[in-house]
A and B are shown apart, each in its own frame.
Chain A
């Protein structure tokens, strides 16, 4: 499946380019209000539930501050985000919020904004040239990986066979989360990563991978998945084998059905990433910088471990 994903890239690109122009034209025609601040937002991928929650938060805050948004979707491609930033510059927005898809691929977007003297706020994931941006708001993904691994080590008393279901290879969140997980596990001599594979953030793919590992008959004590979709897929394979009480599963994102699964004791836990806090602060910072207020560069919003004990605080 992955080996053909790139195939879509070129075709999607053409369609998106046309849509981008259409959207930007549409916006400029409608601009009648004079002193309203305009912020361009480039999202990494609006097919991802977390990014949609981020968008919700950004929209709410923008409305509160009477800011007009021009929102574009990178659809999972860094190169798309770069041209979107160029379009924002051409459109003469007051500030840009970038939610980068790729640590390296999206970094030219920041260079363009800096060159054109447009304030740029990076939100959620990072870029390689983060220091050039005016501000960063996010939660360090390395931490999320560490929190997952530490919780699993606590449950296993520091020893056991762990399998890793990772994000798409090369995606910044995958690189950072894997790094955090490995860093913690390497400190426990009794713990071993017996298998690892990408699930491409996808539930069905993680389900197949987990089924295949269980079929291989290897002893598995815990599954560390780099997002909740994949944790839920792995959990489905485990419960089909009736091993739910024997294998601990943990994910990241605190999506609604993962929270339900935590409260029912089906999975061990998840890690809550505060989309609302990140989105709201990003808009706030963009607003302040346009108004000439000095802002802090690096703004971390902490992750929180969700287990059966505190899950009720997160279920809405």
Chain B
């Protein structure tokens, strides 16, 4: 009797840690059974490439949400950075490093403004980043007069369309961002401070942590990663439209929350976020492959997001 109970408790603890990964495996298995081409190497690469833009943003978003913040401006920053980077990426003008640097720097600058207003001026993250969402979208439109930036160089095309050892470059960039994110969040003092700020900001401050600096940093990082995502996105479609990236912040938030990070802060992992992004990506891909009616796709996607979080919550209570 007692041993049974112990086993149950152990299984519960195991599930609580890995619930979201089981949800992902379950979804994968179901799709693999009903659609055989789903589990081919080319399709797996395909899915990884498709989630890379959302995944890059979601890594930054995880840091922000762990501090109990939110960043609604990510999608607009994607568009602004994309058009700025692309406008310096016409063939035979600047070396590749110029559009890359400008894309990341413009994202970083937007993120810094967010962070300073939130940390120093004590404004609500929701409002500050809502303002940035609108303003950055507007800046992108002003910069381009509303027209897409086209005629990008072949070297710029390589970022989104190229391969390295058979792996698409967007996937490599995504993996590098994930590894850096895991390292920073879980293996550095800075990472521990991020958790501390989100868990109890007052206690963190009293114990000598420069909370303002932590908050400014996480928004700046998310801005820079959104800029990077903008570069990957524009080079993938070989054009940058100021209208692109709408709703990307919410896809990233969905990936973070599905991945078990609490919107009230203090709890979360990058690996969970990657699983969350994978669930969303696998779902999009699988439903398209099965030719599910697009109206129903929306219903199914909504249900799966809520179910994944429900399963995660239930396993944590077990």
Chain A residues at the B interface, C-beta cutoff of 8 Å: 1-5, 7-8, 11-12, 15, 46-49, 52, 169, 194-198, 202-204, 207-209, 211-213, 215-217, 229, 232-233, 236, 240, 255-257
Contact = CB atoms under 8 A, between A and B. Distances in A.
Contacts of A202: 241, 243-244
Given A215-B285, A216-B289, 6 more contacts: A49-B148, A198-B294, A203-B237, A211-B46, A216-B288, A232-B238
Given A4-B250, A216-B289, A12 B134 contact: yes
B145 interface: yes
A215 B289 contact: yes
Contacts of B134: 11-12, 15
Contacts of A194: 291
Given A47-B242, A256-B150, A233 B237 contact: yes
Contacts, number: 106
Interface of B: 35, 37, 40, 42-43, 46, 49-50, 53, 130, 134, 141, 145-148, 150-151, 161, 233, 236-239, 241-244, 246-248, 250-251, 254, 284-285, 288-291, 294-295, 298, 301-302
Contact of A215 (B42, B161, B291): B42
B50 A208 contact: yes
A301 B250 CA distance: 40
A48 B250 CA distance: 22
B146 A47 contact: yes
A3 B288 contact: no
| Secondary structure call for the A interface | helix
Nearest to B305: A3
Contacts of B291: 194-195, 216
Contacts of B37: 215-217
Given A1-B247, A5-B246, A47-B243, A52 B146 contact: yes
A202 B151 CA distance: 18
Contacts of B151: 257
A215 B40 contact: yes
Select the residue from B233, B241, B284 with max chain A CB neighbours within 10 A.
B241
Given A196-B294, A204-B233, A236 B238 contact: yes
Given A52-B146, A217-B37, A211 B247 contact: no
Contacts of A198: 294
Contact of B288 (A47, A197, A257): A197
A3 B146 contact: no
B148 A8 contact: no
Nearest to A1: B247
Contact of A232 (B35, B141, B237, B289): B237
A263 B251 CA distance: 37
7 contacts: A1-B248, A1-B251, A48-B243, A202-B241, A202-B243, A208-B284, A216-B289
A49 B149 CA distance: 11
Given A49-B148, A233-B237, A236-B238, A2 B284 contact: no
A122 to B, nearest CB: 22
A170 B254 CA distance: 25
Contacts of B242: 47
A136 B95 CA distance: 49
Contacts of B42: 215
Contacts of B288: 195, 197, 208-209, 212-213, 216
A4 B294 contact: no
A1 B148 CA distance: 20
B111 to A, nearest CB: 20
A216 B237 CA distance: 21
Given A4-B247, A11-B130, A204-B244, A213 B289 contact: yes
B266 to A, nearest CB: 25
Nearest to A15: B134
Nearest to A213: B288
Contacts of B302: 3
B87 to A, nearest CB: 15
Nearest to A198: B294
Nearest to A218: B291
A169 B297 CA distance: 13
Nearest to B289: A216
Contacts of A196: 294
Contact of A203 (B146, B161, B241, B250): B241
Contacts of A217: 37
A2 B298 contact: yes
Nearest to A48: B243
A203 B298 contact: no
Contacts of B254: 4
A229 B148 CA distance: 10
A52 B145 contact: yes
Contacts of A15: 134
B151 to A, nearest CB: 7
Nearest to A55: B146
A132 to B, nearest CB: 31
B241 A229 contact: yes
Contact of A2 (B35, B46, B150, B247): B247
Given A47-B146, A49-B146, A1 B246 contact: yes
A232 B295 contact: no
Contact of A211 (B50, B150, B295): B50
B280 to A, nearest CB: 10
A236 B237 contact: yes
B38 to A, nearest CB: 8
B297 to A, nearest CB: 8
A203 B239 contact: yes
Contacts of B246: 1, 5, 8
